[in-house]
Amino acid sequence: MRSRVLSGMRPTGALHLGHYHGALKNWVRLQDEYDCFYFVADWHALTTHYEETGVIEQNVYDMVIDWLAAGLDPEKSTIFIQSRLPEHAELFTLLAMGTPLGWLERVPTYKDQIEKLKDRDLATYGFLGYPLLQAADILIYKAAWVPVGEDQASHVELTREVARRFNHLYGRAANFEAQTKAALAKLPKDDARYFERQRKAFGETGSAEALAKGEAIVAKAAAQLEGWTEADGELLLGHLKGSGKSILTEPQALHTEVAKLPGLDGAKMSKSYGNAVLMRDEPEVVAKKIRGMATDPARVRRTDPGEPEKCPVWQFHKVYSDEATRDWVQQGCRSAGIGCLDCKQPVVDAIVREQQPWRERAAAYTANPKQVHWIVEMGTERARTVARQTMKDVRAAMGLAY
C-alpha cells in the first residue's frame, strides 16, 4: 500500500504563481507516488478572518478549480473540504483535553502572526488552538507525510507530540504499567529518580535535553547492569518518550526542494501586497504585470549596466529560464547590452506557456461548476470513510465507545 500524504490550504481564492511553485506543483508530483489527501482548510481561514464569511464559498471553489487546473487528478488524489467533515472537530475537541496550553503558546507562528496581523484581534481561543486543529486534520487520516513549507514545520512537530501523548495516555498495553515498573526497579535508586524527573520534564516541555539525559540513563544501564535486557531498554525508552501502543500515527514533514518565486516587487508574492501574478491571469495581464516590474534601481538609463542579483526579474529567470537564457541575461544586464524590456520578454513567454494547459482545464471547470462540486463531494465521502474509522479507534481507546 502506498503511504499517505496529507496537506491543506486555506481558501484564499484564485491562486497565484507563488502558490503553484511553492506548493501545488509538488502536490501534483506527489500524487503518482503516494495516496494523497488534499483539503480546503476553510475552518482555518476563520481562525484569522472570522468576520469575513461572505467570501468563503467563492474562495473555496476558485481555489479548487486552480488545483484541478494545475493537474490534481481526482482519480488519484482525494480532494475535499474540511468543514464537511465534523470528525475533524471531534478529534480536535478530544485532543484539546490533554494538550498543555504551553505547547500552543510556544508555537513560533503564534506570536509571529499576532505581530504581523496587528490590525486584527487575534486574542481568540480559535487562533491559539489552530495548530491543534491542524494536528487533528493530519492525525485523523493517519498521514505518514505532510508536505509543508518551512513556516509550518513547527505545526508538524506539535502534531507529533500530540500523537505521542495520545498514544501514551490511551494506547498502553494492559501490563505496560507493571512491566515498566519492574524495569525501573532494576535501575539504581538515584538513576531511577533522575530518569523519572527527565521523563516528566520531557512530557511537559518537550525538552530535547531531558530526552537525551533520560536516554543516557538507559544506555548506561544496558552497558553496566547485570540482568538488564533489551526489552527493559525498549520499555523505558517508550515510557520516556510517552509512546505506548500506536493509535495515532506520528507524521513527518515532507520538505521538497521547491523553487522560490517572489512577488513582482521582490517581496513574498501575496494577493494582499498587490504583487502577484495569478495562475489564471490572461496573457495580456501577465505581460503588463511583468513589464511593469521594478528592476535593479542602478539601471536608470538603458546605457547603465545592472546587476541581476539586485533585480526581482532575475528571480523569475531562475525559475523560468534555461541556462542559455540565463547567461544572456547575466551578460546583457552587466554590460548594458540588453534593455530591461528585452530581458523581461522570455519571462512573459514562459509564464504564458506554463499557463496554457491550466487555462484550458480551468475553462472546462468554470463552464461546469456542478462537476467541481461533484469532485469535491466524491473526495469528501472518501475522506469520511477514513476519518470515521479513526474516530472509532479513538473513542474506543478513550472509553467513549458506549
* Residue 185: all three cell numbers together: 526497579
Q: Does 311 bind ligand SF4 (CB under 6 A)?
A: yes
Q: Does 138 bind ligand TRP (CB under 6 A)?
A: yes
* Residue 98: all three cell numbers together: 490533554
| Lookup result for grid cell 500500500 | 1
Q: Which of residues 33-72 bind ligand TRP (CB under 6 A)?
A: 41, 44
**Nearest residue (CB) to ligand TRP, 82 versus 179:** 82
Q: Does 329 bind ligand SF4 (CB under 6 A)?
A: yes
Q: CA 64 → CA 79, 369, 387, distances in Å?
A: 8, 11, 21
* Residue 77: all three cell numbers together: 488524489
Rounded to whole angstroms, the Cα distance separating 87 from 390 reads 9
Half-sphere exposure of 163 (CA within 13 A, CB side): 26
Of ligand SF4, ligand TRP, none, which one sits near residue 41, judging by CB under 5 to 8 A according to partner kind? ligand TRP
Rounded to whole angstroms, the Cα distance separating 373 from 369 reads 6
User: Site for ligand TRP (CB under 6 A): which residue of 31, 83, 99, 134?
Assistant: 134
| Stretch touching ligand SF4 by CB under 6 A, among 12-20, 63-71, 259-267, 303-311 | 303-311
Q: Does 346 bind ligand SF4 (CB under 6 A)?
A: no
**Nearest residue (CB) to ligand SF4, 67 versus 314:** 314
Number of residues located near ligand TRP, criterion CB under 6 A: 13
| Stretch touching ligand TRP by CB under 6 A, among 134-142, 235-243, 354-362, 384-392 | 134-142
Of ligand TRP, ligand SF4, none, which one sits near residue 146, judging by CB under 5 to 8 A according to partner kind? ligand TRP
Rounded to whole angstroms, the Cα distance separating 194 from 204 reads 16
Rounded to whole angstroms, the Cα distance separating 136 from 380 reads 16
Q: Does 376 bind ligand TRP (CB under 6 A)?
A: no
Q: Does 387 bind ligand SF4 (CB under 6 A)?
A: no
Long-range contact pairs involving 326-335 (C-beta distance under 8 Å, separation at least 24): 333/296, 333/299, 333/305, 333/306, 333/307, 333/308, 334/305, 334/306, 334/307, 334/308, 335/305
- Asked whether the beta carbons of 348 and 290 are under 8 A apart, the reply is yes
Q: Does 88 bind ligand TRP (CB under 6 A)?
A: no
User: Site for ligand SF4 (CB under 6 A): which residue of 313, 348, 362, 391?
Assistant: 313
**Nearest residue (CB) to ligand TRP, 137 versus 215:** 137
* Sites of contact with ligand SF4 (CB under 6 A): 295-296, 299, 306, 308, 311, 313-314, 329, 333, 338, 340, 343-344
